[in-house]
Every structure is written in C-alpha cells, then in structure tokens.
C-alpha cells in the first residue's frame, strides 16, 4: 500500500491544539497494531523533564511528539492551502501521488 503522506512533505495540522500550524514531516511511525503517526516540525511540542545523570545534563527540554496522520493534510504549493491526496497511474505504468485541488503530481 502506498502512503499518502511521506517524510519531507509540507503539511498543515487540521485539528487539535496546534490547528493551522504548518511544518515538514520529520518521521513516520508505522505500527502493526497501532495507528500510523507522524512527527511534524514545530507542532505538538511538549516539555520533557530529564533527570541529571553522569553523562546527561538535567533540565526541561521541548520535544515534538507524534500525532495521528488523520490530523494532517498536505499543503498545495500553488495555493498554500490544504489539499487531499490521490493516486493515479502514468502512461508508463508508474503510480504517483497527486493533489486533488490543483491536480499537481508529487514526486
């Protein structure tokens, strides 16, 4: 099965506390029994408290947590708005993703 959202895509958050924020996909986390999640640059940031150890300095750090991919949508580069993704076959038999709003193909 092909993925509609891939690492490196520019996306917009559709719902939740970070609704409207945009960013690049840093990592896709696929689970066998769990839903597919993605880490988006600059979205879903939480503060993590770390304890000091011999090798690591303690303190509070901000990290990006994964979010469900149903909350994300690709950004159309022409209109800079959210667009759904579809698949189509080219004449040479290659399957590619395309944006349904503008019809532009994605690599």
Neighbouring CB atoms inside 10 A of 97's CB total 19
Provide mean pLDDT across the span 20-29. 95
User: Measured between alpha carbons, how far is 27 from 5 in angstroms, rounded to an integer?
Assistant: 10
* Dihedral in degrees, nearest 10, Cα atoms 7, 10, 16, 17: 110
Split into its structural domains, the chain has a count of: 1
> Phi and psi (nearest 5°) for 70?
-70, -15
* Encoded tokens for 67: 């979010």
Is the residue at 40 inside a domain? yes
Give this prediction's pTM.
0.82
Owning domain of residue 22: 10-106
> Phi and psi (nearest 5°) for 63?
-130, 155
Is the residue at 29 inside a domain? yes
Give the tens place of pLDDT for each residue, 51-106.
999 998 999 999 999 999 999 999 998 888 999 999 999 999 999 999 999 888 98
Provide mean pLDDT across the span 27-51. 93
Is the residue at 69 inside a domain? yes
Cα(first)–Cα(last) distance of the chain, in Å? 16
């Amino acid at each position: 099965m092909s993925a509609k959202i891939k690492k490196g895509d520019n996306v917009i958050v559709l719902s939740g506390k970070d609704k409207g924020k945009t960013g690049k996909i840093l990592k896709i986390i696929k689970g066998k029994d769990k839903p597919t999640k993605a880490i988006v640059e600059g979205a879903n940031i939480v503060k993590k408290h770390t304890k000091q150890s011999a090798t690591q300095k303690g303190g509070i750090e901000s990290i990006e947590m994964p979010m469900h991919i149903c909350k994300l949508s690709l950004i159309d580069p022409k209109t800079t708005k959210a667009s759904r993704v579809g698949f189509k076959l080219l004449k040479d038999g290659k399957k590619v993703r395309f944006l349904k709003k503008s019809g532009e193909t994605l690599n």
